[in-house]
Amino acid sequence: MSKSIARNWPYPRLVAHRGAGKLAPENTLTAMRVGYAHGYRMVEFDVKLASDSVAFLLHDETLDRTSDGHGRADAYSWRELSRLDAGAWHSTPYAGEPLPTLTSIARWARAHRVCCDVEIKPSPGRERETGASVALDAAQFWKGADTPPLLTSFSEEALASAQETVPELPRALLLETLPDDWLARLARLECVGVNACHKVLSADVVRAAHAAGYRVACYTPNDPARVHELAKWGVDCIVTDAIDKIAADSLPAPAALP
Protein backbone atom coordinates (compact mmCIF):
# COMPACT_ATOMS: atom_id res chain seq x y z
CA MET A 1 0.00 0.00 0.00
CA SER A 2 2.67 2.54 1.05
CA LYS A 3 4.85 2.08 -2.03
CA SER A 4 1.77 2.37 -4.23
CA ILE A 5 0.73 5.58 -2.46
CA ALA A 6 4.18 7.10 -3.01
CA ARG A 7 4.11 6.27 -6.73
CA ASN A 8 0.45 7.16 -7.32
CA TRP A 9 0.22 10.17 -5.01
CA PRO A 10 -3.52 10.74 -4.35
CA TYR A 11 -3.35 13.91 -2.27
CA PRO A 12 -3.98 17.54 -3.31
CA ARG A 13 -1.02 19.91 -3.63
CA LEU A 14 -2.37 22.37 -1.05
CA VAL A 15 -3.49 21.49 2.46
CA ALA A 16 -5.38 23.66 4.97
CA HIS A 17 -3.42 23.83 8.23
CA ARG A 18 -5.48 22.80 11.27
CA GLY A 19 -8.59 23.01 9.10
CA ALA A 20 -8.73 26.67 8.15
CA GLY A 21 -5.41 28.23 8.99
CA LYS A 22 -6.23 31.12 11.29
CA LEU A 23 -9.68 31.99 9.94
CA ALA A 24 -11.56 29.82 12.45
CA PRO A 25 -10.69 28.11 15.75
CA GLU A 26 -8.06 25.52 14.87
CA ASN A 27 -8.73 21.79 15.03
CA THR A 28 -12.51 22.12 15.13
CA LEU A 29 -15.19 20.83 12.80
CA THR A 30 -16.07 24.41 11.96
CA ALA A 31 -12.47 25.01 10.87
CA MET A 32 -12.70 22.05 8.48
CA ARG A 33 -15.89 23.49 7.02
CA VAL A 34 -14.28 26.89 6.56
CA GLY A 35 -11.32 25.31 4.79
CA TYR A 36 -13.72 23.40 2.56
CA ALA A 37 -15.65 26.58 1.78
CA HIS A 38 -12.37 28.09 0.54
CA GLY A 39 -11.98 25.23 -1.90
CA TYR A 40 -9.47 23.14 0.03
CA ARG A 41 -9.93 19.41 -0.34
CA MET A 42 -7.28 18.30 2.14
CA VAL A 43 -7.02 19.32 5.78
CA GLU A 44 -4.33 18.84 8.41
CA PHE A 45 -5.16 18.43 12.09
CA ASP A 46 -3.67 17.21 15.39
CA VAL A 47 -4.91 14.20 17.34
CA LYS A 48 -4.19 13.07 20.89
CA LEU A 49 -5.90 10.87 23.49
CA ALA A 50 -8.16 11.74 26.40
CA SER A 51 -7.56 9.99 29.73
CA ASP A 52 -10.02 7.28 28.63
CA SER A 53 -8.19 6.90 25.29
CA VAL A 54 -10.78 8.64 23.10
CA ALA A 55 -8.98 10.28 20.15
CA PHE A 56 -9.78 13.98 19.80
CA LEU A 57 -8.34 17.07 18.12
CA LEU A 58 -5.97 19.42 19.96
CA HIS A 59 -2.52 20.77 19.19
CA ASP A 60 -1.07 21.71 22.58
CA GLU A 61 -0.24 19.51 25.55
CA THR A 62 -2.52 21.70 27.65
CA LEU A 63 -6.02 23.05 27.16
CA ASP A 64 -5.31 26.64 28.14
CA ARG A 65 -4.57 28.31 24.78
CA THR A 66 -7.46 27.02 22.66
CA SER A 67 -10.26 26.29 25.13
CA ASP A 68 -11.67 27.37 28.46
CA GLY A 69 -10.10 24.33 30.10
CA HIS A 70 -6.85 24.24 32.05
CA GLY A 71 -3.96 21.85 32.48
CA ARG A 72 -2.89 18.72 30.65
CA ALA A 73 -5.44 17.63 28.10
CA ASP A 74 -4.90 13.92 28.76
CA ALA A 75 -5.80 14.36 32.42
CA TYR A 76 -9.48 14.62 31.45
CA SER A 77 -11.97 12.06 30.17
CA TRP A 78 -13.69 12.66 26.86
CA ARG A 79 -16.93 13.35 28.72
CA GLU A 80 -15.21 16.23 30.53
CA LEU A 81 -13.44 17.50 27.40
CA SER A 82 -16.63 17.48 25.36
CA ARG A 83 -18.12 20.18 27.62
CA LEU A 84 -15.35 22.70 26.94
CA ASP A 85 -15.63 25.79 24.74
CA ALA A 86 -13.00 25.56 21.99
CA GLY A 87 -14.17 28.56 19.99
CA ALA A 88 -14.49 31.66 22.17
CA TRP A 89 -10.68 32.06 22.43
CA HIS A 90 -10.59 32.73 18.69
CA SER A 91 -13.49 35.18 18.37
CA THR A 92 -17.01 35.74 19.65
CA PRO A 93 -18.81 34.26 16.60
CA TYR A 94 -17.31 30.87 17.40
CA ALA A 95 -18.18 30.80 21.10
CA GLY A 96 -19.49 27.39 22.10
CA GLU A 97 -17.60 25.44 19.43
CA PRO A 98 -16.72 22.05 20.95
CA LEU A 99 -13.60 19.97 20.68
CA PRO A 100 -14.21 17.29 18.05
CA THR A 101 -13.42 13.59 18.16
CA LEU A 102 -11.45 11.95 15.39
CA THR A 103 -14.63 10.00 14.66
CA SER A 104 -16.63 13.14 13.86
CA ILE A 105 -13.90 14.57 11.62
CA ALA A 106 -13.56 11.28 9.76
CA ARG A 107 -17.30 11.13 9.12
CA TRP A 108 -17.32 14.69 7.82
CA ALA A 109 -14.24 14.19 5.66
CA ARG A 110 -15.51 11.02 4.05
CA ALA A 111 -18.94 12.54 3.39
CA HIS A 112 -17.30 15.51 1.63
CA ARG A 113 -14.48 13.54 -0.03
CA VAL A 114 -11.83 15.57 1.79
CA CYS A 115 -8.36 14.06 2.26
CA CYS A 116 -6.80 14.15 5.72
CA ASP A 117 -3.30 14.68 7.10
CA VAL A 118 -3.69 13.21 10.58
CA GLU A 119 -0.87 14.42 12.80
CA ILE A 120 -0.38 12.09 15.74
CA LYS A 121 0.32 14.49 18.61
CA PRO A 122 0.86 12.37 21.72
CA SER A 123 0.85 13.74 25.21
CA PRO A 124 4.19 13.17 26.98
CA GLY A 125 4.64 9.53 27.96
CA ARG A 126 1.84 8.27 25.73
CA GLU A 127 3.70 8.08 22.42
CA ARG A 128 3.30 4.38 21.64
CA GLU A 129 -0.25 4.19 22.93
CA THR A 130 -1.31 7.20 20.87
CA GLY A 131 0.38 6.00 17.69
CA ALA A 132 -1.29 2.60 17.89
CA SER A 133 -4.70 3.95 18.90
CA VAL A 134 -4.88 6.63 16.20
CA ALA A 135 -3.74 4.14 13.55
CA LEU A 136 -6.40 1.63 14.61
CA ASP A 137 -9.10 4.31 14.61
CA ALA A 138 -8.00 5.60 11.21
CA ALA A 139 -8.05 2.10 9.74
CA GLN A 140 -11.59 1.62 11.03
CA PHE A 141 -12.97 5.06 10.14
CA TRP A 142 -11.49 5.11 6.62
CA LYS A 143 -12.11 1.44 5.80
CA GLY A 144 -12.97 1.17 2.11
CA ALA A 145 -12.17 4.82 1.40
CA ASP A 146 -10.72 5.67 -2.01
CA THR A 147 -7.95 7.73 -0.36
CA PRO A 148 -6.54 6.72 3.03
CA PRO A 149 -5.51 9.32 5.59
CA LEU A 150 -1.84 10.26 5.71
CA LEU A 151 -0.49 9.68 9.23
CA THR A 152 2.26 12.10 10.27
CA SER A 153 4.12 12.79 13.50
CA PHE A 154 7.21 14.43 14.98
CA SER A 155 7.34 11.48 17.37
CA GLU A 156 9.24 8.62 15.77
CA GLU A 157 8.08 6.40 18.62
CA ALA A 158 4.43 7.15 17.85
CA LEU A 159 4.96 6.70 14.13
CA ALA A 160 6.75 3.38 14.69
CA SER A 161 3.83 2.23 16.83
CA ALA A 162 1.42 3.16 14.04
CA GLN A 163 3.65 1.29 11.59
CA GLU A 164 3.59 -1.85 13.71
CA THR A 165 -0.14 -1.67 14.36
CA VAL A 166 -1.51 -0.81 10.90
CA PRO A 167 1.42 -1.02 8.46
CA GLU A 168 -0.74 -0.48 5.38
CA LEU A 169 -1.63 3.11 6.28
CA PRO A 170 0.74 5.67 4.66
CA ARG A 171 3.02 7.61 6.98
CA ALA A 172 5.26 10.68 6.74
CA LEU A 173 7.83 11.80 9.29
CA LEU A 174 7.57 15.40 10.46
CA LEU A 175 10.94 17.15 10.82
CA GLU A 176 11.81 20.65 12.00
CA THR A 177 15.40 20.22 10.81
CA LEU A 178 16.98 17.77 8.40
CA PRO A 179 19.43 15.47 10.22
CA ASP A 180 22.10 13.76 8.17
CA ASP A 181 20.26 10.44 8.39
CA TRP A 182 16.81 11.72 7.40
CA LEU A 183 16.49 9.31 4.48
CA ALA A 184 17.47 6.40 6.72
CA ARG A 185 14.78 7.42 9.21
CA LEU A 186 12.15 7.40 6.47
CA ALA A 187 13.30 3.94 5.41
CA ARG A 188 13.25 2.59 8.98
CA LEU A 189 9.68 3.80 9.51
CA GLU A 190 8.63 2.67 6.01
CA CYS A 191 7.33 6.16 5.27
CA VAL A 192 5.94 7.35 1.96
CA GLY A 193 7.57 10.72 2.49
CA VAL A 194 8.90 13.48 4.69
CA ASN A 195 6.96 16.48 5.98
CA ALA A 196 9.54 19.15 6.80
CA CYS A 197 9.55 22.78 7.84
CA HIS A 198 9.61 24.67 4.56
CA LYS A 199 12.61 26.72 5.76
CA VAL A 200 14.92 23.70 5.66
CA LEU A 201 13.93 22.57 2.17
CA SER A 202 15.83 23.21 -1.04
CA ALA A 203 15.52 22.04 -4.61
CA ASP A 204 18.37 19.58 -3.92
CA VAL A 205 16.58 18.08 -0.91
CA VAL A 206 13.40 17.59 -2.94
CA ARG A 207 15.35 15.93 -5.75
CA ALA A 208 17.11 13.63 -3.28
CA ALA A 209 13.83 12.56 -1.70
CA HIS A 210 12.19 11.92 -5.07
CA ALA A 211 15.21 9.99 -6.32
CA ALA A 212 14.92 7.74 -3.26
CA GLY A 213 11.22 7.14 -3.93
CA TYR A 214 9.79 9.47 -1.28
CA ARG A 215 7.30 12.30 -1.53
CA VAL A 216 7.91 15.70 0.07
CA ALA A 217 5.43 17.72 2.11
CA CYS A 218 6.14 20.88 4.06
CA TYR A 219 4.68 23.21 6.67
CA THR A 220 3.72 26.15 6.92
CA PRO A 221 4.63 28.67 4.23
CA ASN A 222 2.09 31.48 4.11
CA ASP A 223 3.63 33.80 1.52
CA PRO A 224 2.20 33.05 -1.96
CA ALA A 225 5.58 33.64 -3.63
CA ARG A 226 7.23 31.11 -1.31
CA VAL A 227 4.47 28.58 -1.92
CA HIS A 228 4.97 28.86 -5.68
CA GLU A 229 8.74 28.50 -5.27
CA LEU A 230 8.26 25.29 -3.28
CA ALA A 231 5.88 23.97 -5.91
CA LYS A 232 8.42 24.76 -8.62
CA TRP A 233 10.96 22.64 -6.74
CA GLY A 234 8.46 19.77 -6.82
CA VAL A 235 7.17 19.76 -3.24
CA ASP A 236 4.17 17.45 -3.37
CA CYS A 237 2.04 18.73 -0.46
CA ILE A 238 2.16 22.22 1.00
CA VAL A 239 0.41 22.82 4.32
CA THR A 240 -0.54 26.49 4.73
CA ASP A 241 -2.49 28.88 6.92
CA ALA A 242 -3.06 31.30 4.03
CA ILE A 243 -6.15 29.64 2.63
CA ASP A 244 -7.72 33.04 1.95
CA LYS A 245 -4.66 34.20 -0.04
CA ILE A 246 -3.71 31.06 -1.94
CA ALA A 247 -6.43 29.48 -4.06
CA ALA A 248 -6.71 25.74 -3.53
CA ASP A 249 -6.56 25.10 -7.27
CA SER A 250 -3.75 27.55 -8.02
CA LEU A 251 -1.06 24.87 -8.36
CA PRO A 252 -0.84 21.92 -10.74
CA ALA A 253 -1.07 18.39 -9.39
CA PRO A 254 2.20 16.85 -8.15
CA ALA A 255 4.33 15.23 -10.84
CA ALA A 256 5.09 11.52 -11.03
CA LEU A 257 8.21 10.31 -9.27
CA PRO A 258 11.28 9.95 -11.50
Indicate which residues carry an active-site annotation: 17, 59
* Helix (H/G/I), strand (E/B), else coil: 194: strand
Q: Distance of alpha carbon 231 from its chain centroid, rounded? A: 19
d(C-alpha 94, C-alpha 149), whole Å: 27
What residue ranges in 143-189 does DSSP mark as E strands? Answer: 150-153, 171-175
**Phi/psi class of residue 107: alpha, beta or left (left: φ > 0; alpha: ψ in -120 to 50)?**
alpha
Q: Are strands 150-153 and 171-175 parallel, antiparallel or unpaired?
A: parallel
> What's phi and psi for 238, nearest 5 deg?
-120, 115
